[in-house]
Structure 1
Amino acid sequence: MHQPAPKTALYILSRGRNAGKPMFEPCPNCHIIYVADDYELQTYYWTLYAFWKNGFFHPHLCGSVIEMLRLCDLKTLMRNFIQPAFEKSLRKPEIMLRIKTTWELEQKMEQQAEKIRELRNSLVRQYYLSV
């Protein structure tokens, strides 16, 4: 019988081109990382997000049809790269805040781009497709 994961658990997508992406909610194809508190959870999340967003995990994916990030590879990457980056983030928390700020800016820009697409589509429908 499965027990629910604690609130201080972080999930790492393990399959597909988005393997390595951190998530707060579990999915069928993910690895789980347990952390001590919410501050560590946020720090790990944004550290892993930065690595994932920059394509860090792509060279470590295996599989010819559906790529996957093996647990043994994730453990090695955690030990050699991610844990040292996490410790740097703890020493300099402004790094995490900057990464989070860039994510928020990216979200705003994506929303603006969607509004521009909606406006363009509306103009096309209004002027070219109306009878």
Structure 2
Amino acid sequence: MTYHNVVTHQAQRAIDQPHFFILSKGKNAGKPLKKSCPNCFLITVKEETESENLYWIAYTLWKANFWHQHQIGSVIPFIRIIDFKSCFRDEVLRAYKQHQKHIEFVHRIRQLESLQQHYSKTMEQIEKLKWALLQNQLR
């Protein structure tokens, strides 16, 4: 496992290492993002493959609602950076203890994401076709 750094993202900060972002506020706090947004953490690593591995660990934690137990705040829930750092580090270490299983998991998730994107495009095309047929029927 290589070293990863977690900091609060600042828009003016230049980023020259492989990285991704984690949403820190709102109901989707803990969600990994490829592009920055307000209220997010920045995770940097030394290698692109490590960035991908950490991204999918973060994605798994978010989908499993892992971060809900760490959210505080009554109006807008958020995750403290110190809580995120310690919990994320622990989960990364746990995932890397079973590294081969994690690699297989990432491969399967990527396949499913690709399939989901394909089906989403297909559904959009079906909706457009249905709309065109409806418009044609009204003429």
State the match for 1:36 in structure 2: 46
Change in Cα spacing, 1:32 to 1:6, as seen in structure 2 (3 Å) is same
> For each residue in 1:43-91, what CA deviation from the matched residue of structure 2 results, as whole angstroms up to 9, or x when unmatched?
1112212222333323332223322222122123213324312x14643
Query: TM-score, normalising length from structure 1?
Result: 0.79
How many corresponding residue pairs? 127
Contact 2:17 2:46 in 1 (8 A): no
Contact 2:17 2:44 in 1 (8 A): no
Query: TM-score, normalising length from structure 2?
Result: 0.75
The answer on 1:14 being equivalent to 2:24 is: yes
Identity of aligned residues (%): 35
Q: CA RMSD in A?
A: 2.2
Change in Cα spacing, 1:12 to 1:83, as seen in structure 2 (3 Å) is farther
Structure 1: 5+ residue stretches without partners = none
Q: Which moved further from structure 2: 71-80 or 29-38?
A: 71-80
The residue type paired with residue 51 of structure 1 is L
- Which of 86, 98, 102 does residue 76 from structure 1 map onto? 86
The answer on 1:63 being equivalent to 2:73 is: yes
Matches of 1:89 and 1:82 in 2, distance apart? Answer: 10
SS of aligned partner of 2:43: strand
Change in Cα spacing, 1:110 to 1:60, as seen in structure 2 (3 Å) is farther
The residue type paired with residue 67 of structure 1 is P
SS of aligned partner of 2:109: helix
